[in-house]
């Protein structure tokens, strides 16, 4: 059995194979997919796509990590989802409103919101991602203070809202006013930076599936964010992950919420076009 980049499954048996092929248990039985998810592998939606197949980060995780995400009661990220659900109906600000004042039942009004971000905002004249849209609603509609990036409240609300779109295929706009942002994100993805002279593509396109210390490189798909990482011992945003990657290659990272990370978020979302939203995912 041949894996991507010629990594091979040893003939030592299924027990060792389970280390290389996440989801494979003793006897060859596969773990169930995360709740509400029917596939973690889709075909590219464009002939210009750089990948032959699109694989969720879930595919590259250990069976133990997969099992944590599989069950909402075991998934530690749902502590934040539950807090976000409470915040959804919490009245704040001078306008005396909550999120539910305008958007009612999140399971209906937010059913596709998490699959389509970043999205063009005509009033701002630029795209916004989910965190930015939440804060825009707070300041403009609720007349409340914006939440800080990586704050418990913003992470909780982002996790709750995106979870409403779980199972929906990622589908972002890349034409029209979004095209310059898409091209900017693509340029960032392939530009080598830092003391290690590496780009996003160096790992996530050239060597996905390969072991890097105790972890396996994924394709860098973003359909599971916000994500609970064991390294963080909490949930975190996609921009935090971008920032961490840049630090790892000894580069000066862009700021969370910056136009650069927003453009990169758009491009990486396009790379995972068609994958179902898994948020909140569990990763190593």
Burial, 191: exposed, middle or buried (Cβ in 10 Å; 0-12, 13-18, 19+)? exposed
From the candidates 99, 102, 137, 245, give the one annotated as an active-site residue.
245
Neighbours of 131 (CB within 10 A): 27
Q: Which of 29, 28, 31, 32 is nearest to 14 (CA)?
A: 28
3-state secondary structure of 251: coil
User: CA distances (Å), 163 to each of 51, 85, 267, in order?
Assistant: 26, 10, 21
- Pair of tokens at residue 69: 């995400």
DSSP 39-93: -SEE--SSTT-S-SSEE-GGGGS-HHHHHHHH-TTT-TTHHHHHHHHHHHT--BT
3-state secondary structure of 190: helix
- Asked whether 147 and 154 are in contact (CB, 8 A), the reply is yes
Helix intervals (H) in the chain: 14-20, 63-70, 78-88, 99-103, 106-109, 130-137, 152-163, 179-190, 200-204, 238-248, 259-271
245 is known as an active-site residue: yes
Name the DSSP class of 281.
Answer: E
At 39, phi and psi to the nearest 5?
-155, 150
Catalytically active residues are: 245
């Amino acid at each position: 059995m041949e894996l991507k980049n010629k990594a091979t499954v040893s003939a030592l048996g299924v027990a060792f194979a389970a280390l290389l092929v996440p989801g494979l248990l003793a006897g060859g039985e596969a773990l169930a997919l995360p709740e509400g998810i029917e596939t973690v592998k889709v075909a590219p939606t464009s002939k210009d796509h750089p990948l032959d197949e699109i694989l969720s980060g879930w595919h590259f995780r250990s069976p133990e990590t997969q099992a944590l995400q599989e069950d909402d009661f075991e998934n530690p990220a749902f502590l934040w989802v539950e807090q976000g659900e409470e915040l959804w109906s919490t009245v704040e600000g001078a306008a005396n409103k909550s999120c539910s004042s305008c958007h009612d039942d999140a399971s209906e009004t937010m059913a596709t919101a998490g699959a389509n971000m970043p999205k063009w905002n005509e009033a701002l004249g630029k795209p916004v991602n989910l965190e930015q849209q939440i804060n825009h609603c707070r300041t403009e509609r609720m007349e409340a203070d914006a939440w800080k990036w990586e704050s418990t409240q913003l992470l909780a609300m982002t996790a709750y809202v995106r979870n409403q779109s779980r199972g929906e295929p990622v589908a972002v706009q890349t034409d029209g006013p979004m095209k310059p942002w898409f091209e900017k994100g693509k340029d960032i993805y392939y530009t080598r930076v830092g003391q290690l002279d590496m780009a996003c593509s160096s790992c996530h396109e050239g060597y996905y599936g390969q072991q890097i210390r105790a972890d396996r490189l994924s394709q860098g798909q973003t359909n599971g964010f916000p994500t609970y990482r064991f390294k963080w011992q909490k949930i975190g945003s996609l921009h935090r992950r971008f920032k961490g990657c840049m630090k790892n290659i000894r580069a000066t990272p862009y700021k969370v919420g910056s136009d650069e990370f927003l453009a990169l978020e758009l491009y990486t979302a396009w790379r995972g076009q068609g994958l179902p939203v898994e948020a909140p995912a569990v990763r190593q």
